[in-house]
Structure 1
């Protein structure tokens, strides 16, 4: 192998070898996890990083996770200090102020040593069904500070030289409602990383450290060149767009997300500094989430095959303002920032690009990951349960085709929880799960339709937290296309049906339930 560069064949071999390891880590996690949220919905992501946290390769999982994990891994390693790591150590953290998303997303980080030298890091991130806090599921919309959202874990050793730190683990689990599920899921994360560690060591035995380092640097350089070239194919120009997040978690409170994007040759500059300040409710998000949205949008608009490693962001400059909705600082609550705000960041970015590159931009999609959590203490089993699921909606129509119906769009890429699994795992009955017909916007190409999920509690009582968006606003159409139909949330009580706000919480008793209908996507072109 050439000592200064890789040829095209060598580059593809390196890319596929490293990406396959990340994919295998993710597959192992999914197949060995305990909670339906991970094993069925696949609410998890995995990647390989350099000793300093430089992203090398990722599995094709959830855009939001994949976009923010490089920042989180880099900051976690810097905070803990790589000089304090030895073979057999495993770190765990969920701190959103280090670049995480929200507290349920636990990140497990495993250093990979070769002949006593730190060569790489394997990391995966998974959404746990509970991490404490004021509501089961740890996704309270009405939190006003981070302490109400659950246990916040700084980067600490879960394993020290291969030995589980049982006292630390006990403290963590004692503050979590779903201890058995959480214990199993965290151990699955650890085991999946160990598989990745073995695969990297096998690669090091074959390649050696010099070739491994050369290959990872070449892949990052390759991604930077590819991204720069992709940006260069966009027209030069500048656009500014403001979209509205309609609810702050506590009340209807329109909050502006304003972004200016500028393409100049092969460089992209993105400026969010005019976005409104962080709010008292749980829709704030870290600046790492915002950067992840930018990375996603540039792939969406140019070339979805762009390699997802550290080189992707090299030709891109992102400006945020600390203390704003999209760059929140302590002690801002953040539980629903990725669920709601990340999707609106994408909408704002698409609106800005449409100002000067309209042929690349689709109409707005449903605008929310649309989450529902239902949890409580089940007297029959003597244990807490916590149902967590996000729902798809209508995809915005594109300049050349209709939008898809009832799908996860933009920053989310999970599956659904099968109805049979819901009724087996929880005291819930699925009354309806269907496409919300004719909710997509009309146009030359139609927006996709939203979906409907109706659940009833079968015994006991439970707390419900529901969060969607585009209820008082609608996903916008483009080029004369109609807006999509807004979504809605309904509480089904013994005294009748009650429409609720887009972000809401309430208690239900046996026989009562909830319906959530997600918004349809915007249409494209004059019908």
Structure 2
């Protein structure tokens, strides 16, 4: 068994300050100004990366996250619209980095990078970059950017097939390395990246954007030290983390003590398309929470496994969302939470297991399990399961003398909760990226979007309806390779307290010759030709509460907006639905 509370290193880096003992007190106004300055700095880092990035996945969808770390690696401030699965793993990635490069060996101008899941990283596409920030000879902390590289080599464009049998087959694995040394770029490493990643110009453009984000964080942290002093800034950082812990413990203490259990399932790994189980027990004891995954399925052949760091991130996300979703997140808020997972399972992979899809597909199920376990204890706070899938479509190849790789995420449905329907057509749970606008897709890639809309009757029925997912039909206008990584095609998201399950995910490939093939939710790279069409319908969210308790007004709005069909309103919700020719819009009228 392996347990984690989120690692920190013991070294605080090279400081040579001398003099009288530093006071640990700070006035509340100064603390709040510095706290918000740190948060603003993280947001500014993100904006700089977005403005300078090359790939659509970054500049349009925003698949990256920025943070400021204390000298021991804990996250102090993160971007307000960043990605939950990216951020709690940063201390793990930092610990993997400092095992190879101790903090005391780092110098101003150094920048480090790695993508190794067996050294605390998420999956190979997520490159972790961090830069030590010095003020004089004092190490203030680190500016860090994690970004999803569209390609890291491997057996298909986009590096996204969950059918890769081990980590080596998934792509180019980079141990912690200096990518800038005292301000000079490591051209040998950059050349190695260029030779192993598809479309290297775009990849190195994103690498430079990451670097710009780290430099922005460095400048802002140094500016705070210049204004308030390095000692005061250090005290404020400690208080930010301690205050977050105090607040988290106060909210956790409101949960009734006890042991709560739940299980859910994933479709399969793309090699063996049979469901496998995620089982968790959540034990609440005062202001502490221990989450155990004993009984979870062994690690899979394909890439549906995850590193323990990712399992930890999914767990702390779920607890934060249920207990205190409004205050800014940082590592202090996660100190009361411990996670235990058997090695060699899908939630704590052993080398050389593949992990590319587990980062967001299996981890989403982990968050669903923690939420489901606490439904009994927190019925007014939990929501039914969302779609729990990124719904990845990769399309890559060579056209008109250029390489192209499109990695597109698809919006799905959130689960309904007490007093509110689930959200429609957006990423839910551990992810927070947007989709790429149709105009940008068609401008950048040889593809045409034929249909893109919210699916009716896609949300689970309930007093509070599950959100509807989207469906998209695209035509490929040039030969290339496609890969699908999605979930919830076999086991649909669960409802709560009488709420229903939504429609599952569906993937259909229609060849130019008229041949129709229903695909599993995970595929190896498939060759397509001009004229082939792909239909992808994402799952909705589960319902909350008995459907017969849904109000007439809410159901009327559902029918008017196209979220629920008249037939479903009658058969699933037990309503009387009549066509009213007297209405100016000719729509249906719902009654009970």
Q: TM-score range by the shorter chain?
A: over 0.9
Decide which of 47, 66, 91 is 1:46's aligned counterpart. Answer: 66
1:348-363 maps to which residues of 2 (within 5 A)? Answer: 348-363=369-384
Please state if 1:177 is matched with 2:217.
no
Look up the match of 1:366.
387
1:131-210 maps to which residues of 2 (within 5 A)? Answer: 131-210=152-231
- Residue deviations 1:105-163, cap 9 Å, x none? 11111111121232211000111111111010011110011111111111101111111
1:13-412 maps to which residues of 2 (within 5 A)? Answer: 13-60=33-80, 61-378=82-399, 380=400, 382-412=401-431
Q: Can you give the 5+ residue segments of structure 1 that lack an aligned partner in the other structure? A: none
Between the aligned partners of 1:290 and 1:161, the Cα distance in structure 2 is 35
SS of match in other structure, 1:358: coil
Q: Can you give the 5+ residue segments of structure 2 that lack an aligned partner in the other structure? A: 1-21, 548-592
Please state if 1:498 is matched with 2:517.
yes
After TM superposition, give the deviation of residue 7 of structure 1 in Å: 4.2
SS of match in other structure, 1:360: coil
Look up the match of 2:439.
420
8 Å Cα contact 1:246-1:469 kept in structure 2 = yes
TM-score, length of structure 2 as denominator length: 0.86
SS of match in other structure, 1:347: helix
Please state if 1:475 is matched with 2:493.
yes
Between the aligned partners of 1:283 and 1:357, the Cα distance in structure 2 is 29
SS of match in other structure, 2:245: helix
8 Å Cα contact 1:47-1:122 kept in structure 2 = yes
Look up the match of 1:454.
473
8 Å Cα contact 2:160-2:485 kept in structure 1 = no
After TM superposition, give the deviation of residue 383 of structure 1 in Å: 2.5
After TM superposition, give the deviation of residue 377 of structure 1 in Å: 2.0
After superposition, the Cα gap between the structure-2 partners of 1:37 and 1:290, relative to the gap in structure 1 and judged at 3 Å, is: same
After TM superposition, give the deviation of residue 333 of structure 1 in Å: 0.7
SS of match in other structure, 1:183: helix
Please state if 1:526 is matched with 2:538.
no
8 Å Cα contact 1:364-1:521 kept in structure 2 = yes
Between the aligned partners of 1:162 and 1:11, the Cα distance in structure 2 is 32
8 Å Cα contact 2:75-2:88 kept in structure 1 = no
Between the aligned partners of 2:278 and 2:71, the Cα distance in structure 1 is 35
Please state if 1:511 is matched with 2:531.
yes
SS of match in other structure, 2:227: helix
- Once superposed, which parts of structure 1, at least 4 consecutive aligned residues long, lie more than 3 Å away? 5-8
SS of match in other structure, 2:276: strand
After TM superposition, give the deviation of residue 343 of structure 1 in Å: 0.9
After TM superposition, give the deviation of residue 40 of structure 1 in Å: 0.4
Higher Cα radius of gyration: 2
Between the aligned partners of 1:327 and 1:451, the Cα distance in structure 2 is 32
Please state if 1:10 is matched with 2:30.
yes
SS of match in other structure, 1:181: helix
After TM superposition, give the deviation of residue 319 of structure 1 in Å: 0.9
Decide which of 434, 450, 458 is 1:439's aligned counterpart. Answer: 458
Between the aligned partners of 1:168 and 1:190, the Cα distance in structure 2 is 15
- Residue deviations 1:497-519, cap 9 Å, x none? 21111112321101112111100
After TM superposition, give the deviation of residue 83 of structure 1 in Å: 2.3
8 Å Cα contact 1:222-1:311 kept in structure 2 = yes
8 Å Cα contact 2:73-2:90 kept in structure 1 = no
After TM superposition, give the deviation of residue 442 of structure 1 in Å: 1.1
8 Å Cα contact 2:255-2:377 kept in structure 1 = no
Look up the match of 2:507.
489
8 Å Cα contact 2:275-2:490 kept in structure 1 = no
TM-score, length of structure 1 as denominator length: 0.97
Q: Paired residues, what number?
A: 523
8 Å Cα contact 1:373-1:387 kept in structure 2 = yes
After TM superposition, give the deviation of residue 398 of structure 1 in Å: 0.5
Between the aligned partners of 2:462 and 2:536, the Cα distance in structure 1 is 26
Between the aligned partners of 1:392 and 1:5, the Cα distance in structure 2 is 47
